[in-house]
Amino acid sequence: MAWAASWRAPLANLLPVLYLLAIVSVLSALFLHTGYAPRTTVGWGVGSHILFSLLSYSILGIAALQALALALLIHRLKHRRLHGLVAAMPPLQTMEDLLFRLIWTGELLLTLSIVTGALFLEDMFAQHLAHKTVLSIVAWLLFAVLLLGRSRLGWRGNTAVKWTVAGFALLILAYFGSKLVLELVLHRPAW
C-alpha cells in the first residue's frame, strides 16, 4: 500500500522501514510456528470487519511511522543538523500534509471497522472482545480529537506526532494486548 501511495505522495523515506518490517514479518511467519489455525470461512459481515480492521491498522501504522519521521525532521531542524537522512526528506509542510492525509484515511477505515464490528459481533463479552472494542474506540477518539485540533486550533508538529503515536499505541494494545492476555495469561484462544 505504501509503495502504491508513494507514486502520488512523498513516502520514499518510509519505504525502507516498511520493507524491513515486511521482511521480518514474512520470515517470522515462515520460521516461527504457532498452534494458530486461521478460520477458513467467515461471513461477509465478519470478513468486511476484518478487512476494514487490517486496512485501518495498516494506514494508521504508516501514519505512526510518518509521525516518527516528522519528529526526527523537527528535531534535526531545531538543532540545525540537516545532513544525512534529513537532507533526503521532503519539506516539513509536505510531511505534515501527508501525515494528516494518512490519519484521515485511517480514521475513516477505523470508523468502518468499528461500525462493522458492532453490527456483526454476536456477543462481545462471550468472545472476550470488550477491551479490544473499548481501546479501539478510545484510539478512534484520539485520532478524531487530533483531526479536530488540526482544523480548529492548528495543531501540528510535535503535538501531531504525540497524538498520532498515542492513538496507534492504543490500537497495538487493543490487538496485541488482548491477544497476549487471552492466550498467555488466561490460556484461552484469541478467537
The tens digit of pLDDT for each residue in 110-157 reads 999 999 988 877 766 555 677 788 889 999 999 999 999 999 998 988
pLDDT at 84: 66
What is the Cα–Cα distance from 99 to 3, expressed in whole angstroms?
16
Q: What integer pLDDT is reported at residue 168 of this predicted model?
A: 95
Name the 3-class secondary structure at 113. Answer: helix
Question: Mean pLDDT over all residues of the chain?
Answer: 81
| Type of residue numbered 181 | V
Cell numbers describing residue 148? 479536530
pLDDT > 60? residue 191: no
Q: Quick one: DSSP state of residue 155?
A: -
Of 111, 132, 129, 112, residue with least CA distance to 121 = 129
Q: What are phi and psi of 32, to 5 degrees?
A: -105, 100
pTM: 0.78
Tell me the percentage of the chain whose pLDDT exceeds 90: 32
The confidence score (pLDDT) of residue 55 equals 93
Residue type (1 letter), 175: Y
First to last CA, the chain: 27
How high is the pLDDT of residue 81? 73
37-41, 60-64, 106-110, 167-171: segment of lowest average pLDDT: 37-41
For residue 74, is pLDDT > 80? yes
CA–CA–CA angle 38, 39, 42 (5° rounding): 145
Residue range 80-91, pLDDT digits in tens = 776 666 666 777
Q: How many CB atoms lie within 10 A of CB 102?
A: 25
